[in-house]
Chains A and B, each alone.
Chain A
Amino acid sequence: MKFLKVSLIVLLAIAFVVGSTGCKKAAPPTPAVEKLKVAFVYVGPHNDGGYSQAHEDGRLYLQQNDPNVETTYSESIPEGAQSEKTFRDYAAAGYKLIFGTSFGFMDAMVNAAKDNPTVKFMHASGYKRSDNLGTYFGRMEQPDYLAGLVAGKMTKTNKIGFVLPFSIPECIREVDSFTVGLREVNPTATVTVVYTNSWYDPAKEGDAAKSLLNKGCDVIASGVDSPAPLDEAFKAGKYGIGYDMDMAAGMKTADEAKSVLTSRIWHWGPYYLKVAKAVEDGTWTSGDYWGGMADGIVDIAPISSAVPQSVIDYVNTRKQLILDGKYTPFDGPMINQKGETVVPAGTTMSDADQLNLQWFVQGVIGEIPKSGS
């Protein structure tokens, strides 16, 4: 097959010619001041209307408030093999601060950080750290708890559905604190959990919500990245509770916005600005950041007009307690699904236990798959 050999050579030649002309055009003038190049790697589309978009908002905040940075992002990067290449490519392209915003990027970032010691890596929600790999996350449990209060007051069937991506501690914490709030105001209500085994898969998320609605749930809480579960809840004439962003604001109609009781939301921007400044000053060190509502990194979105004012007032008083550091959803007594008291009254679950949480509280219907090896 001689002609294919020839064509290969020709292909290469063309590629190089095209490449060299393209490069000349693309070459930018060298900037006078070296800017800090910051990259963000998202697991979903940057405009997913949820988790990745919340990070994208944070990136834009950073870009607008720090003239010394140059930021970019990669979207829809699958966890695992492909993400490692993206992290390495950014490091090779001169990016000095790289944020990876999904749990499954963890080992890819560990590997990339090891081979690029001069680049600072920041991994959201992970637990593996090194000299140039830090971790950060927010205590979403606090808004989860407040959303649970709203759900407990609004449900008529006393059945809440929770669409959950994975059974990792981050997600278990959300369900547990939500249920604590729910049963504080409605002791007979239950939370049914369905897993999608994916962070971003609107079709699967919608199907999961449908199955929960068919089981009689009348409030659907989302722990996944897209607003699809809320759309299904609205179509069925039920309520939804959003995640990541104020999902009511993204809805097409006022009626649908009203069906979103509230959302548990992220405000990454100020934190990203702080990290970028620390890298610019040379004061950045690896560590773990886990901020709560008092820091402003997590919050609860404005509550829907469908919710009575008395409920909103109650939520606000509880919110104030959290802001004042007088209450956390992990204060005892906490009782597991078998009815055993795991966290006694008067104590609070330690951060370490929260980070490894692998059990559901009483009132949750669902299982955590067993781990092997």
Chain B
Amino acid sequence: MLRFEKRDKTPVRLRVLVPICSVLLGLFVGSVVMLFARVNPLRVYGAVVKGAFGSAYTFSETLVIAVPLILISAGLCLVYRMKFFNIGAKGQYIMGAICGSYLALFGPATMPRPLLLTLMMVLGTIGGALWAIIPALLKAYWNVNEVIATLLLNYIASYILWYLMYGTWRDQRSHGFPLSKSFALNAQLPRILPAPSRLHIGLFFGLVAAGIVWIIIRKTRFGYEGRVLGENERAARYAGINVFKTIIIAAAISGGLAGLAGIAHTSAVLRILQLEINSDYGYTAIIAAWLAGLDPLVAVGVSVLLAALEAGGYQIQIVMRVPFGIVGVIESAILFCLLAGEIVTHYRVSLTRRLTA
């Protein structure tokens, strides 16, 4: 039988060796799949890296994907530390995109650009925050499991978007196709590099958000209370921490950042509201937050790496005509091995003849 024994302290060499071995193992598992697909794994990995970092353009595309991941994962680091498992970043992202786009599509055309964009970002943030406050209230008042509530709200948000795109928000000139009008120049968040790069000022939103969340967690009373709450809710109550308030504020910050990611990406990159607005970043960001050990600054780096894997994945389809699914295989193999590695770092695993009573 396998026996797991919690370690008091993880040896330094394990902390370094295990992640390296995990990644290598993940790459190896990915290679085996590629060999079955009759492609050279070394060339594929080379193409992924080149496709993600190989030129100024590809690197800026990697950062375009990283921006929403950074924003969302920063918020998730905060709520996950309180053991509020918000799986609903996707829905919050969509609601942010919808709320912010309302102003872009139906707002007064004469509004000055800085004001319009600021209001759009604020509305998007509020939209995402409200969408996260719903499950927080359900949890605070009726102890409804937030995993289920946030997950199901993702579907509701998706279908609200569908409803609008097939209904009143559909552009008349789209001939029945589910598209909004294109955003006017005034409603497009500025890009910071010359074309064809799409990198936009949302990058600064992300970096600032990650910094602020880090400060909240490390340096504020609120962050401390949240951590206590995450460790032991009963102790937090005895200590006089207002559990309701803490959960709701944290959920609002997390949802707000996801909403901001949604409207920033829609306004700067897509410049149109449609059914497909990359809302799956809401799931990828969960992985980023966990792999970063719930540290928002580390999550910035992890977000860039996950974005690189995705951006490089597009490139291997173009350069090598490898199915995009291969990228999913590599990504999951690496993640799976990293998560398995976590067990080895935290537990001593040994073989025993039988279970000890």
Contact = CB atoms under 8 A, between A and B. Distances in A.
A4 B19 contact: yes
Contact of B47 (A16, A26, A74, A111): A26
Contact of A1 (B46, B58, B168, B292): B292
Contact of B49 (A15, A112, A368): A15
B24 interface: yes
Interface string A1-14: 11111111011101
Interface string B319-333: 101001000000000
Interface in A192-249: none
A76 interface: yes
Contacts of B166: 369
A332 interface: no
A328 interface: no
Which 3 pairs between the two chains have the least Cβ-Cβ distance?
Answer: A22-B46, A19-B49, A7-B19
Interface string B39-50: 010111111111
A82 B269 CA distance: 11
A76 B324 contact: yes
Interface in A48-92: 72-74, 76, 78-82, 84-86, 88-92
Contacts of B319: 26, 93
Contacts of B19: 3-4, 6-7, 10-11
Given A11-B305, A25-B40, 8 more contacts: A1-B294, A15-B45, A15-B48, A18-B49, A19-B48, A19-B54, A22-B50, A88-B61
B270 A168 contact: no
A350 interface: no
A3 B45 CA distance: 24
A284 interface: no
A117 to B, nearest CB: 9
A259 B269 CA distance: 47
Interface stretch (B116-124, B234-242, B247-255, B275-283): B275-283
B175 A356 contact: yes
B176 A373 contact: no
- Dominant secondary structure at the B interface: helix
Contacts of B57: 92
Interface string A146-178: 000000000000000000001111000000000
Interface string B291-325: 11111001001100100100100110111010010
Nearest to B177: A168
A12 B305 contact: yes
Contacts of B23: 7, 10-11, 14
A3 B15 contact: yes
B108 interface: no
A168 B172 contact: no
Interface in B6-37: 10, 15-16, 18-20, 23-24, 27
Contacts of A8: 298, 301-302, 305
Contacts of A82: 276, 278
B170 A18 contact: no
Interface residues of A, number: 63
- Dominant secondary structure at the A interface: helix
A240 B181 CA distance: 38
Interface of B: 10, 15-16, 18-20, 23-24, 27, 40, 42-51, 53-55, 57-58, 61, 105-106, 166-172, 174-177, 179-182, 195-196, 198, 269-272, 274-278, 291-295, 298, 301-302, 305, 308, 311, 314-315, 317-319, 321, 324, 345
Contacts of B181: 373
Contacts of B271: 107, 111
7 contacts: A8-B298, A22-B44, A82-B276, A89-B51, A89-B318, A169-B175, A373-B168
A89 B301 CA distance: 23
A372 interface: yes
Contacts of A20: 46
B195 A3 contact: no
A340 interface: no
A297 B122 CA distance: 51
B16 A6 contact: yes
Given A4-B291, A166-B176, A72 B318 contact: yes
Contact of B45 (A19, A73, A84, A85): A19
Given A7-B16, A82-B278, A107 B272 contact: yes
B196 A104 contact: no
Interface string A99-143: 000011011001110111000000000010000000000000000
A77 to B, nearest CB: 9
A30 interface: no
Given A4-B298, A8-B301, A72 B321 contact: yes
A115 B191 CA distance: 12
Contacts of B311: 85
A247 B174 CA distance: 30
Contact of A22 (B16, B49, B174): B49
Given A3-B345, A368-B176, A372-B168, A18 B45 contact: yes
B177 A21 contact: no
Contacts of B176: 166-169, 358, 368-369, 371
B62 to A, nearest CB: 11
A23 interface: yes
A89 B315 contact: yes
Contacts of B105: 373
